[in-house]
Every structure is written in structure tokens, then in C-alpha cells.
A and B are shown apart, each in its own frame.
Chain A
Amino acid sequence: MTRFDLAIIGAGPAGMSAAVTARDAGLSVIVVDEQPAPGGQIWRAVGRNAGARSGNLAFLGEDYAKGAELAAQFEASGAQFWPSASVWHADSPDEGDKTVTVAWDGATRQFRAGALLIATGAMERPVPVPGWTLPGVMTVGAAQTLLKSSGLHPEPPLLLAGSGPLLLLFAAQCIAAGIEIAALLETTPPGAYMRGLPHLPVALLGWRTLLKGHRLKRQLAASGIPVYRAVTDLVADGTEQLERVRFRSAGMPVELEAAHLLLHEGVVPNPQLTRLLRCDHHWDAAQRCFRPDLSDRGETSVDNVFVAGDGGGIGGAMAAVHSGRIAAFEIAERFGSVNRPSGDVEIVKARDALRAELAVRPLLDAMFPPPDWIARLDGDVTVCRCEEVSAAAVRKAAALGAPGPNQAKAFLRAGMGPCQGRMCGLTITEILADAHGEHPERIGYYRIRPPIKPVTLGELAALDGSD
């Protein structure tokens, strides 16, 4: 089995910057990503859009265009890169090397590494409203991915519903690209902006982000797109396909026809690999999600397993770049390629940059508070999309004595479908916490087992343990 000093899972901002830094320090590095090209979520298809489809940069914006530079550095770094390779198992024995198992090109490959950096980023928080399983309903990030990767956009009438910077950014990208938005349904509770004010002084450290947010709101106001505020009780309706959307805006009922509804309530760390590796996690009350416990150098509770980027807690792309550097320097020091003093100086620099980048987060959390209604869900709204389990069923399991998600899973099969709880895990923790009147941290999360990605029999049969 081939061995590397460092294995990086994910080639987004965090993974790419860690790879560049670690290669500079002389480590042998492998990077795997299930996407066909580097870039991660923010810089999806940045190679294509900086090249043959450069016309798209005009509406994707300058933050997007910036990705091309890091992607080019990454490609020149000499790190081995496996695109279209899904990690379905990672193992960290108490002593010695980590093992990573990947489904790649119809075969299974394994390699060993001294240190493992999980840079798998964030996913959008699942938004379980009635009808969210209908074709025609998808996430804002999904629509944005289609735009970046394929220049595709939903046909009208198109509605955007939810809250958060990514929703505003996508709306601005649509306006710039001439894509029609029928209405914006803002679920941000009234007064949230005012509650954000006390955080302003610290947030000024991250003034660039603030300016950007301000510009996005202005663009939106100037566009004339109808905005419904204080939206609650959102329902997607249709038989085989989305046909209409109902909701209340400041208490008043509204019904709109829609071909597409895009949902977004912020992003949360993708927990699959850190859970699989049995890293310790804690509940982040401000962002209403779990995040792995990390040292100030990005190490988890498991020796030589690191996390950088949004997978460790939401900080955005530039924070991901800095945290990738910090982890890479620490790993380089451990594996003997960089001596302490110079590495430490670099870490201090990167940490200052990271701090400035994160300064704006409390303000963003206050301005776009994560939804609290998910914890109160009840009735027949689908919570687990794979096994079609309702909120009421989860409450019933709680009443029958299921203390946590793993027992609820045994009762209901929730979390046993192909997505392995990615789409219901957080919701089920929240509902059980509400039902038992317990803190989400005590309720816990699903126990994640391999394979964390679907593996075909052919891929399993090809597991030859070589490279």
C-alpha cells in the first residue's frame, strides 16, 4: 500500500491551501475529492469558468474568480490528486498510520498516511418543510452549483426561500446573469438585524465581508424583485412536481405559483468523516449544529487527524484557506520537514489572518439566526427523506423511550437509507432534544459506520489492498 506523509480529503479552499503549504514544506501529499475537479463548493468548476467559459466570471463575481489562482497553485504543487474519488472509509488505529479507502474509477483503492486532514467542508442545513421532497424543490446551493458547473438555471416562476449570506449571494448572481426570480421569501425573523448590532465593533475586523453583504442587499433592493419578509409556515405543494408554494408573511397567508423553489437556512459542517473516525464533537449553540473539537492547530481528539475549513465550523472560504495552512504547518513540523521556529512564525501569521476572518461570524450568526422551528417540528412533515419518516413518528419514538438518534434509528429506520442520516441527523437530534427537554449534546448524533458512500460489488471485489 502506498504511503504518504499527509492525506487530504477534499480539494476545496482548505484542502488546496493545506496541500500547497505541505508540499512547500517537503511532505509527500495525496489529495482526493469526489468532484471531477478541484475547487470545493465555493469554487466549483473554477477551471472551466476561468477558461473556456470565462464569460461566466462576470456574474459569478470576484470572490469566485479568486479561486482560479489557488487552484493553479494546487495543480502545480506536486501533490498527488485523485479527482472523482469518494472516500468511503478511513481508519485511525491507536498507533501508526491512517488508512483511507476510496472508490475510484470503478475500483477500490487504499493508501496509508501519517496524518489525515479532513477538509470535506460544509453542507446546507436540511430544511424539512412539507413538500420539500417534491421534484422542483432543491437547495439554493444546488441551483448555484448547476449555474457554476453547467451554466444552467431554473425556469420561471422561481422562488427563493430562507435566510443567510449564500441566499443573498445567489440572488445577486442571478440578477447579474439575467435570471428571473419571481420572489424572495425571507425567513429571517424580524429584528435580527438589530440584534446583530452589538457585534459590530468586533465584526469591523472582517469589514470586507460586511461591505460585501451590504452591497448584496443594495443590489437586491435595486432589482425590484418582490421580497416577502418574516416568512413562516412554508409549504411546497404539488402532486408529481412542485406547482405552488404557500406561506405566511408577517402572519398574512400568501400563495404563489412556482416551478422551482430553492431552500436555504445556512450551512453546517459535514459530519460524516469526523463521526466515522470517532472524533469528539460539541454542540455549537450559535450555529445550531455539531462541530468537531479542535485544537488551535486544527487537530481533533484523535491523534494526527486534523480538520480544516468549514468542516470544523463555518468560517467561509478565506478562513478555510488560513486553517488549511495552520494544519499543514503543524503536520509539517511533526513529520520533521520544518523546524519549529519558522513554522511557528507562519502559524502565528495564519492565525491572525484567521481571527480577522472569523471576527464577522458572531454578527452573521445574529443577523441570520439558524432556524429554531426545526426543533419544534411535529406532524406528518418528512424528516428522513430516504426512509420517509415523519416528525410525528420521531416524537412517538421519543415517547416510547428512544433517548437518542441511534435508538430512534432502530425504531424507525430513520438514518438507515442511502444518505446515512446526512439529511435527517441534525433534525432528529433537535426534535429529540425538544421532546426530552435535553441539551442536544446529551442527545448526541448517529453512530456513523463504513461505507459512508455507496460501493458497488465490483468496487468491493476490486479491493486488493495494493494502491
Chain B
Amino acid sequence: MLRRLPEQKGRRVRFLFEGEQVHALEGDSVAAALLAAGAGATRTTPKSGSPRAPYCMMGVCFECLVEIDGVPNRQACLIEVRDGMRVRRQRGAPGLPGEAEDDPV
């Protein structure tokens, strides 16, 4: 889990992770917001189902792959979090875009 230093100015952003409401600061990447929210594993691997979390934060490891607004395979460390985003763990191999169920809002 990550902590925020004091005096990090910015607008608060609210989004959904696995259907639960989470707070972030404007300018956070989705990966940063998830780590700050204590999300733990953000995906599981297709082969063994082992838990993974963001590793590089710069777009090269692809451990941060999540589903955002129904689209799988998004690199959470490269995408800024936005109000109302619906984010889900990517479990195993990604489905096709649009295949995901909707979040229970």
C-alpha cells in the first residue's frame, strides 16, 4: 500500500474499482490510484493465476493491465484516472473489448 505525502494539491477524482468507489487525485495514473487505494493484485496471470501488481510504472512490464470501462488490456500506468471510470482486475487472458459485464453501480 502507498501513502501520500502532505500538501499534494489537486482535485479529487472518484472512480470505481471492482464496483467499489475509490478516491484519487487528478493527475494520478490509474495504476498509482490503485496502489494508493491498497488494491493489492491488479491482475492475475493467464497461466497460473498468480497475483500481479504494477512493477515498472513506465509502460514496459505490462503487469498493470486492467480493464477500463469494459476495454481489457489497458496499461494502467499510462492512463490518467478520470471521474466515473470503471476499472476491473484483468483475470487471466483478456476477453474481447466490450465483453466485460457492467459494474454493479
Contacts and interface: CB of A to CB of B under 8 A. Distances in A.
Partners in one complex: yes
A255 B27 CA distance: 37
Interface string A84-109: 10100000000000000000000000
Contacts of A135: 40-42, 51-53
Contacts of B96: 457
Contacts of B65: 418, 454
Nearest to A142: B57
Interface in A352-391: 385-388
A48 B28 CA distance: 11
Given A150-B36, A151-B5, A454 B57 contact: no
Contacts of B40: 135, 240-241
B62 A419 contact: yes
A152 B81 CA distance: 15
A224 to B, nearest CB: 21
B65 to A, nearest CB: 6
Interface residues of B, number: 47
A84 B51 CA distance: 27
A240 to B, nearest CB: 5
A137 interface: yes
A153 interface: yes
A441 B1 CA distance: 41
A259 B28 contact: no
A153 B2 contact: yes
Contacts of A303: none
B39 to A, nearest CB: 9
Nearest to A156: B3
A123 B60 contact: yes
A270 B5 contact: no
B3 A152 contact: yes
Interface size class of A (residues with CB under 8 A): 35 or more
A146 interface: yes
A407 interface: no
A419 B97 contact: no
Contacts of B74: 454
Interface in A250-272: 259, 270
Contacts, number: 142
Given A84-B78, A153-B5, A457 B97 contact: yes
Interface string B1-38: 11111011110000000000000010111001001100
A134 B42 CA distance: 11
B2 A152 contact: yes
B50 to A, nearest CB: 7
A259 B1 contact: yes
B1 A454 contact: no
For the complex, would chain A's binding face be called helix, strand, loop or mixed by DSSP majority? loop
Given A149-B29, A150-B25, A133 B9 contact: no
A143 B7 CA distance: 19
A177 interface: yes
A152 B62 contact: no
A190 interface: no
B71 interface: yes
B97 A155 contact: no
Interface in A110-159: 123-124, 133-139, 141-143, 145-147, 149-155
Contacts of A36: 80
A86 B36 CA distance: 25
B62 A48 contact: no
Nearest to B59: A34
B80 to A, nearest CB: 5
B58 A145 contact: yes
A139 B27 CA distance: 21
A142 B1 contact: no
A336 interface: no
A257 to B, nearest CB: 15
A161 interface: no
Given A141-B56, A149-B29, A454-B73, 9 more contacts: A146-B2, A146-B32, A146-B57, A151-B7, A240-B51, A422-B60, A422-B61, A423-B62, A458-B71
Interface of A: 34-36, 41, 45, 48, 52-53, 55-56, 84, 86, 123-124, 133-139, 141-143, 145-147, 149-155, 177, 179, 240-241, 259, 270, 385-388, 417-419, 422-423, 453-454, 456-458
